[in-house]
Amino acid sequence: MDFSLSREHEMIRESAFKFGQNEIVPGIRERDRAAESDPQTLKKMGEAGFLGVCVPQEYGGMGADYISLGIVCEELERADTSARVVMSVHAGLHCMTLMQWGTEKQKRRWLPDLATGKKVGAFGLTEPNAGSDAANLRTTARRDGADYIINGQKTWISLSDYADQFLIVTRLSETNAKAPYAAFIVDRTTPGFSSRPIHGKLGVRAGNTGEIFFENMRIPAENMLGEEGDGFKVAMSALDHGRYTVASGAVGIIQACLDACVKYANDRTVGGEPIGKKQLVQQMIASMVQGREIGRLLYYQVGWMKNVGLRHTREVSLAKWTNCAAAFDAAHKAIEVHGAYGFADEFPVERYFRNSRGAIIYEGTHEIHTIMQAEYELGYRSDKPLARDLPTWPFEKVPTEA
Ligand code: CAA
């Protein structure tokens, strides 16, 4: 067993850290206050190569391994959650699912623009009446000659106003509520597509979130990922990738809490000594260290499983569940360490507290992951290998002909 990170991992960490501190942190308080997302950050993330970090080089990506993706998510979320959310929906939910389920022709059609940030991808599963209950979708796709006609709506869609294309999941009947699902890539320029932002969020205010609507939207059958009936599996595999980015990003929040608390605890004095000398403050800092170290081990393990092609639905659920809870706890404690200063945005910890709350809900709530972990242990949930695998790393050469 080898726990060391490679030189490439260290270089990617350094470059994502610098990007976060130089391109995201300056101005984040103002953007968070104004609830303003910044499309320039998205553009710069594309130029830096992060959007295609684990897309094979043949498709225009950096060709790094899946652990690298986790490291980028960690370092970007250390700056602000909104940047990690971009990685989650674009690199995780959209690109990796395309890598797993796309035909060679589809990969060559879409991945090069996505990997280089010329186009941005997002994901649409959740609906007003189907969040945890992903088997209850109402958005429908009806076959019409060489096309499908899509009607319905999705909500809580990250990058709803910016993404060029969406991976959406639909039911294959307008009348049968038990009909199987299909997944499609849809372009936002398709007639019948519209979006609307959601305002007033508790956290991730510098990130764009909204609803997307489909009204008699005609999509060619060649835009379907997998076959008719594969849609639920496509959605669940997408979540295996999205949850990985959320789990690794959560470690970045813990690190950001530590960055802020170590500085504050050394600067702030009580009774003539830094508060870092007080055991109760040390206890809180030690607990954050515990969260960071456990969190890293959990997400590195999942990254490794992705690299070697092992099914990891169980492990990624555990990592997402554990790390998001640890990040929220760390942010709560970080406010405690800062006392009244932690309650206003002069210091960043109140933003970490608000930002870390959302991740306990999205990509599987605390309750969904609790149930999944118990069901695996009780033998109620299958862990059998999947029919479609993500490409293993190092990536193999693929045929040039589609
Ligand atoms: N990959 C591929 N296939 C999978 C899979 C995976 N990870 N997980 C399950 N499947 C397959 C199974 O093998 C099974 O196929 P077979 O019948 O051929 O064996 C089929 O899918 C059904 O699997 P399950 O029986 O496990 O499905 P379930 O109904 O028990 O799942 C659940 C229940 C796990 C709770 C699931 O509904 C779930 O994860 N719900 C939460 C949904 C969620 O996280 N929503 C958040 C959406 S994203 C978001 O928040 C917005 C955003 O982007 C920011």
- The reply to whether 1 falls in a domain is no
Distances (CA, A) of 324 to 77, 124, 203, 255, 355: 12, 22, 14, 13, 10
Instruction: Specify which residues 153 forms β-bridges with.
Output: 213
> Containing domain of residue 277, as a range?
232-378
Q: Whose CA is nearest to atom 4 of ligand 1?
A: 233
Model pLDDT, residue 398: 73
93: left (phi over 0), alpha (psi -120 to 50) or beta: alpha
pTM, two decimal places: 0.98
Phi and psi angles of residue 118, each rounded to the nearest 5 degrees, phi first: -65, -30
What is the CATH number for 155? 2.40.110.10
Looking at the structure, do residues 292 and 325 belong to the same domain, yes or no? yes
Looking at the structure, do residues 320 and 246 belong to the same domain, yes or no? yes
- Rounded (10°) angle between helices 313-338 and 366-378: 140
Looking at the structure, do residues 358 and 273 belong to the same domain, yes or no? yes
Enumerate residues 6+ apart whose C-beta is below 8 A from 340: none
Enumerate residues 6+ apart whose C-beta is below 8 A from 234: 97, 101, 167, 169, 181, 183, 225, 226
Distance 235 CA to ligand 1 centre (A): 7
- The reply to whether 396 falls in a domain is no
237: left (phi over 0), alpha (psi -120 to 50) or beta: alpha
What is the CATH number for 108? 1.10.540.10
- Per DSSP, 127 falls in state B
- The reply to whether 400 falls in a domain is no
- The reply to whether 279 falls in a domain is yes
Q: Which of 99, 209, 233, 324 to mutate to test the pocket of ligand 1 (most atoms within 8 A of CB)?
A: 233
Atom of ligand 1 nearest to the CA of 89: 53
Question: Strands, E, within 103-187: which ranges?
Answer: 121-124, 140-144, 147-158, 165-171, 181-187
Looking at the structure, do residues 45 and 107 belong to the same domain, yes or no? yes
- The reply to whether 402 falls in a domain is no
| 192 closest CA partner among 173, 208, 171, 168 | 168
Looking at the structure, do residues 110 and 133 belong to the same domain, yes or no? no
> Does 237 contact ligand 1 (Cβ within 6 A)?
yes
Q: Whose CA is nearest to atom 46 of ligand 1?
A: 363
Model pLDDT, residue 400: 65
> Does 207 contact ligand 1 (Cβ within 6 A)?
no
- The reply to whether 329 falls in a domain is yes
Structural domains counted in the chain: 3
Looking at the structure, do residues 86 and 107 belong to the same domain, yes or no? yes
**Degrees to nearest 5, angle at CA 25 with 348 and 287:** 45
- Are the beta carbons of 193 and 224 closer than 8 angstroms? no
| 108 closest CA partner among 351, 359, 402, 381 | 402
SS3 assignment, position 146:
coil
Euclidean distance between CA atoms 15 and 38, whole angstroms? 20
Distance 85 CA to ligand 1 centre (A): 20
| pLDDT, averaged in runs of 10, over the chain (402 residues) | 94 98 98 96 96 98 98 98 98 98 98 98 97 96 98 98 98 95 98 98 98 98 98 98 98 99 98 98 98 98 97 98 98 98 98 98 98 98 92 86 54
Model pLDDT, residue 392: 97
Distance 172 CA to ligand 1 centre (A): 17
Distance 313 CA to ligand 1 centre (A): 9
Model pLDDT, residue 121: 98
- The reply to whether 390 falls in a domain is no
Model pLDDT, residue 397: 82
Model pLDDT, residue 401: 57
Model pLDDT, residue 152: 98
> Does 363 contact ligand 1 (Cβ within 6 A)?
yes
> Does 132 contact ligand 1 (Cβ within 6 A)?
yes
Whether 377 is a known active-site residue: answer no
The runs of H, that is alpha helices, within 227-278 are 231-267
Work out the number of other CB atoms within 10 angstroms of the CB of residue 56: 22
Looking at the structure, do residues 241 and 195 belong to the same domain, yes or no? no
